[in-house]
Amino acid sequence: MIDTHTDAEIKTILEKYRRVCVVGASHTPGKAANEVPLYLIDKGYEIIPVNPTVPSVFGIKAYKSVGEVDKMFDILDVFRPSDEVYGIIKQAIDKKPRVIWMQEGIYNKEAKEISESEGITVIYNRCMMKEHIRLFGS
């Protein structure tokens, strides 16, 4: 599946929304789930890591699930397999994110449909870091 959002739409999202809940955030260097959030932090975004296996990522408290996150966020950035996305989205909808962002290689039709029915913008099969670099430079 290919996401059809325009460059202008993606750029607006990346400019406007700065608090990102990262599901699957990793403390392991070399993994995309580590490099992308670190890049976003470097660019001034606030990261809320979700990883049930560690107490913190990047020195920031990690939540065991999206349902446990006790603050609002603008973007839910998902680094989990496509078949896990629907359950993650069901937990996130009550938090009222503006955007659900499924990273490269990730797409779940049911998650997309339920999110859009709630008025949430859905980006899929795109990398936030690559899009940021492409649209704003490094």
What CA–CA distance (Å, rounded) separates 121 from 112?
9
7-31 pLDDT tens trace: 999 999 999 999 999 999 999 999 9
DSSP class per residue in 60-80: EEPBSSGGG--S--SEEEE-S
24-82 pLDDT tens trace: 999 999 999 999 999 999 999 999 999 999 999 999 999 999 999 999 999 999 999 99
What CA–CA distance (Å, rounded) separates 138 from 134?
8
Please report how the helices 82-92 and 109-117 are oriented relative to each other, as an axis angle in degrees rounded to 10.
Answer: 20
- In this prediction, residue 1 carries a pLDDT of 72
CATH tag, 7-136 = 3.40.50.720
pLDDT band at 2 (very low <50, low <70, confident <90, very high): confident
